[in-house]
Amino acid sequence: MSLLHSSFYRFTPLADPDALAAWLRERGAACGLGGVVLVAREGLSAAIAGEADAVRAFESELQASPGFAGLHFKHNVCERRPFSRFKVSVKREIVAFGVPGVSGQAAADTHVSPQRWRELLDEPDTVVLDNRNSFEFKLGRFRGAIDPGVAHFRDFPAYVEAQRDAWRGKTVAMYCTGGIRCEKTAAWMQAQGLKVAQLDGGILNYLEAFPADAAQDWQGECYVFDKRIAIDAAARETGTTAEAVFTAPEDAWRLARARRLDPET
């Protein structure tokens, strides 16, 4: 049995998130999938997994739905099912940024391909910024990356504002796991007067683009929000446990959440 993990998102206005959520639940169950899907008026964010044919059938149905034509899916093969159930939730935002009025509107000319990203890492006027929480950075990062030292995504804006003047005239090349956090921050950072480059599709897209030598640029492991916990530069499950990742007392709730993803442990 070939198991496939697929992650994707799209910022698109949804008039009836509840109706879309109901449809997603029905189709996910029919395809025998597991996963976590968030739906809000600003769009959709998801990570799903199952038998490869079933995942691709689900993706085709979603792409045929209004607002989701051409949706990009980031894939990697799994040795076991990453999710025990298929959960669809309706939220106020698909990713909470903490700055009123900021949505996932596309920023102008900020997306860069994995190939261009590799070049940016070697350019002297590049600031490589990790747009994730500090526990994720400690597990793995791109070479030369800066850890903003935040415990929550909503703390990220204050860090950027504190560094803004020092970064003027440089390219702030930022990345996150799948690209969605950078979508929230890119236009806002441009409004702060910064030159921004965001890795299109995030770390997962980079690993998929360079299956043979991603380790040239990616150091360590990438935290993934499912039962696998972490993958290496070849997108393979590493065996790292949630207990090894969440050692700080303030991360007890994250440890509890990770354990709920894998009730068999």
Query: Would you name the residues annotated as active-site residues?
Result: 176
Q: What is the DSSP string of 164-186?
A: HHHHTTSEEEEE-SSSHHHHHHH
Distance CA 199, CA 206 (A): 8
Q: Which residues contact 162 (CB under 8 A, 6 or more apart)?
A: none
88: enclosing H helix or E strand = strand 86-90
Beta strand 195-199 pairing with 111-112: parallel
Q: Which residues contact 64 (CB under 8 A, 6 or more apart)?
A: none
